[in-house]
Amino acid sequence: MKKILLFIFLAGTLIAQAQVLRPNKWTFALSQSDFKPGDEIELIFKATIDPGWHLYSSDFDPELGPMVTEVVFEPNDTYELVGGLRAINPLKGYDEIFEGEYTYFAGKGEFRQTIKVLKDNLHFSGSINYQVCTDTDGRCIPFEDDFDQQDFGIKYVKKKADQPTTEVKAGSTYNSSADNNPATMGLWAFALLAFTTGLLALLTPCVFPMIPMTVTFFLKEGEKEGNAIRKALVFGLSIILIFTVIGTLIAILFGGDALNNLATHWAPNIFVFLVFFIFALSFLGMFEITLPSSLVNKIDRQADRGGLIGVFFMAATLSLVSFSCTFPIVGSVLVLSTQGEFIKPIVGMLAFSLAFALPFTLFAIFPDWLRKMPKSGGWLNSVKVVLGFLELALGLKFLSVADQAYHWGILDREIYLAFWIVIFSMIGFYLLGKILLPHDSPVERIGVPRLILAILTFTFVVYLIPGMWGAPLKMLAGYLPPMSSHDFDLTAARALPPGEEGNLCEAPKYADKLHFPHGLEGYFDYEQAIACAKEQKKPLFIDFTGHGCVNCREMEARVWSDPKVLQMLRDDFVLVALYVDDRTPLPESEWYTSTYDGKVKKTIGKKNADFQITRFNNNAQPFYVILDNQERLVIEPKAYDLSVENFLAFLMEAKRRFEAGEYVKDMQQ
């Protein structure tokens, strides 16, 4: 009985791996059934996703890794696009492999694209490019589905004058009353949602560095005469004013993307880094930040007005710094501004900025509370110094944003980590009294709280050190540059020991764009790879993979990194990685029409995806295939499996069968 059950399980597994899957279905609708030239209408794309699968959304960084959903339109003169594709209430997730946040849909999904009708005979066509993945067995599948106006219920009838006109079929009107999105929510519900997201925004990586800067700034402000509570309130109100007025105005005048572009541009990021750096030096005691004497005299005559100017400047800095992380949260509010709404975006920005400003107002009052505590003397300067060190460390993030965006290569991951190791080590020695700065008093002995902080600091330093040799340090994913910028990775270095030659027959095509992990060598073109396998009389290991395949990266990080697996891949196989989502154009002479879907394949990715489907009747990644020199299957293909033992057994059995001349006869095409 056990053998029968085992046979059924294995047969089911092979069938599941061999079938062409369609875990996502699209339906289409219009936001309104009646329209004329000059009207703006919404095209609505609804996805029904099979249980256990998820569809990646369109509103996260396409450089992160997973494939974002795109809708590509064929241009014509009957319409024009208004804005970009909008994802309606996607879920959020964090991927440890790609070290970043992404958005996705499970069960149901919806996207909308606004178009402006220019002529009566409205017609349009295009394709939806997207990726669906399952957490059950790690498969990921990219798709490209075509559509045209008929899918949305639009057909044409002839007028008497033989002029075409647009008609919408009955039943195609879309009812959006049940949608849970900002455009259809009530005013109070929308304000509550905005307030809640304002609180959540405090947890983002761009906002947290402002906490020590706020505290240190108001510690310095507290040394001057003036009402600390009043300054804190002005600080909070300034944040609300900047977010509400300036944010909404920019969205109305320049569109909802303007703030995001501002937050990711090199100039504001370098400016914020310099602000952090200068303030940190001041808090460490190098100099005092003061206004010119002529201006100070004028300020003295106007009752502390200058202090309030500095407070407003701090609020402006906080708002600018936070935009790069809070923009995805407030984006739906700002989009309303671009769509003609007036009251709702203002109320939303007020509610969001109120929640966002409240904790910072308390942080601004906090130094005054510290100052009123008993024995608040020299240790208060120590607080400023420690926070100054933190500003040096956290300010590097903004220099890193510019460095990554423009590929300067001045702050790669290991250099960034080196700075952090040095800075946090200095914090530890400072807490132990081994470092004294200009405004410090000699430390004769340290208290238990200070000792505990020193222990925690040095523990954090020890945690950082392996990162210099390629440790992922997943806890710090939001702050560190990506692993792709890390040059000194011992895991990769050990794949090809010094002095050993690679097993390539010729220079691989596309090697300037594509690569293998862990220093492995191989090809990215099937014809080139199978020719080399025949020449070297080795089996061909095909890795059907993708840039946006999360589970492919996880297999590489957790399974391929095993020394025994690496050795076998390097020594016993010719490797070829076939990226199914790469958009590098093929030379026109290599274009061909697929026998599977009748479409012309013009890119590397589409060619590889078509090859996987037509040859192996499979379209999920990761998918590992091993062929002999006659291009026959040596062993049943393998999919996502994080067991090193299973993958190693797969490779060893394939090697044995290849040497014995065995192949899977009943799976040949």
165-169 average pLDDT score? 44
Tell whether the model's pLDDT for residue 441 goes beyond 50. yes
Q: What is the pLDDT of residues 100-120, one digit of tens each?
A: 888 999 889 999 999 999 988
Helix axes 305-338, 343-372, angle to 10 degrees: 150
Q: What is the pLDDT of residues 503-545, one digit of tens each?
A: 789 999 988 878 787 778 999 999 999 999 999 999 999 999 8
What does the radius of gyration of the chain's CA atoms come to, in whole angstroms?
30
Q: What is the pLDDT of residue 666?
A: 53
Give bridge partners of residue 574 from the DSSP assignment: 540
Q: Percent of the chain having pLDDT more than 90? A: 25
What's the 3-state SS for 295-349? HHHHHHCCCCHHHHHHHHHHHHHHHHHHHHHHHHHHHHHHHHHHCCCCHHHHHHH
Q: What is the pLDDT of residue 330?
A: 54
Q: Which residue has the higher pLDDT, 45 or 642?
A: 45
Tell whether the model's pLDDT for residue 502 goes beyond 50. yes
The beta-strand segments (E) located in 150-221 are 154-158, 164-168
168-200 burial: b if 16+ Cβ within 10 Å, else e: beeeeebebeebebbbebeeeebbebbbebbee
478: pLDDT confidence band, cut at 50, 70 and 90?
A: low
**Superfamily designation of domain 23-168:** Thiol:disulfide interchange protein DsbD, N-terminal domain (2.60.40.1250)
Question: What's the Cα-to-Cα distance from 537 to each of 103, 467, 534, 624, 627, rounded to whole Å?
Answer: 45, 40, 5, 19, 11
Q: How far apart are CA 207 and CA 195, in angstroms?
A: 16
Tell whether the model's pLDDT for residue 203 goes beyond 70. no
Tell whether the model's pLDDT for residue 591 goes beyond 50. yes
Which amino acid belongs to residue 575? L
Q: Percent of the chain having pLDDT more than 70? A: 67
Which of 52, 180, 183, 190 has the alpha carbon at shortest distance from 110? 180
Q: What is the pLDDT of residue 335?
A: 47
**Superfamily designation of domain 492-667:** Glutaredoxin (3.40.30.10)
Tell whether the model's pLDDT for residue 180 goes beyond 60. no
DSSP structure string for 447-496 = -HHHHHHHHHHHHHHHHHGGGGGT---GGGTTTSPPGGG----HHHHTTS
Q: Which residue has the higher pLDDT, 23 or 462?
A: 462
Q: Is 27 left (phi over 0), alpha (psi -120 to 50) or beta?
A: beta
Tell whether the model's pLDDT for residue 166 goes beyond 50. no
Tell whether the model's pLDDT for residue 185 goes beyond 60. no
Q: Do β-strands 100-105 and 108-117 pair in parallel, antiparallel, or remain unpaired?
A: unpaired
Contact 201, 323 (CB under 8 A): no
Tell whether the model's pLDDT for residue 28 goes beyond 50. yes
Contact 642, 554 (CB under 8 A): yes
Q: What is the pLDDT of residue 161?
A: 39
Contact 215, 363 (CB under 8 A): yes
Q: What is the pLDDT of residue 650?
A: 95
Q: Which residue has the higher pLDDT, 455 or 554?
A: 455
Q: Which residue has the higher pLDDT, 220 or 123?
A: 123
Computed over every residue of the chain, the mean pLDDT equals 75
Q: Specify the DSSP element, H or E, that contains 113.
A: strand 108-117
Tell whether the model's pLDDT for residue 85 goes beyond 90. yes
Q: How far apart are CA 26 and CA 44, in angstroms?
A: 10
Tell whether the model's pLDDT for residue 598 goes beyond 70. yes
Q: What is the pLDDT of residue 174?
A: 29
Q: Which residue has the higher pLDDT, 422 or 237?
A: 422
Which amino acid belongs to residue 510? Y
Q: What is the pLDDT of residue 306?
A: 46
CA atoms within 13 A on the CB side of 387: 23
Least confident of 226-235, 430-439, 460-469, 571-580: 226-235
300-318 average pLDDT score? 61
Question: What's the Cα-to-Cα distance from 308 to each of 224, 232, 236, rounded to whole Å?
Answer: 12, 10, 12
495: pLDDT confidence band, cut at 50, 70 and 90?
A: very low
Q: What is the pLDDT of residues 32-83, one digit of tens each?
A: 878 888 899 999 999 999 888 899 999 888 878 788 999 999 888 899 999 8
Domain ranges of the chain: 23-168, 197-409, 412-488, 492-667
Give the list of residues 6+ apart from residue 286 with CB closer than 8 angstroms, or none: 438
Enter the DSSP assignment of 559: I
Q: Which residue has the higher pLDDT, 646 or 215?
A: 646
Asked if residue 622 has a cis previous peptide bond (ω within 30° of 0), the answer is: yes
211: pLDDT confidence band, cut at 50, 70 and 90?
A: low
464-469 average pLDDT score? 90
177: pLDDT confidence band, cut at 50, 70 and 90?
A: very low
Q: What is the pLDDT of residue 378?
A: 58
601-622 average pLDDT score? 85
Helix axes 305-338, 266-283, angle to 10 degrees: 150
Least confident of 82-91, 238-247, 445-454, 515-524: 238-247
Least confident of 17-21, 585-589, 593-597: 17-21
Tell whether the model's pLDDT for residue 621 goes beyond 50. yes
Q: What is the pLDDT of residue 216?
A: 63
Q: What is the pLDDT of residue 10?
A: 40
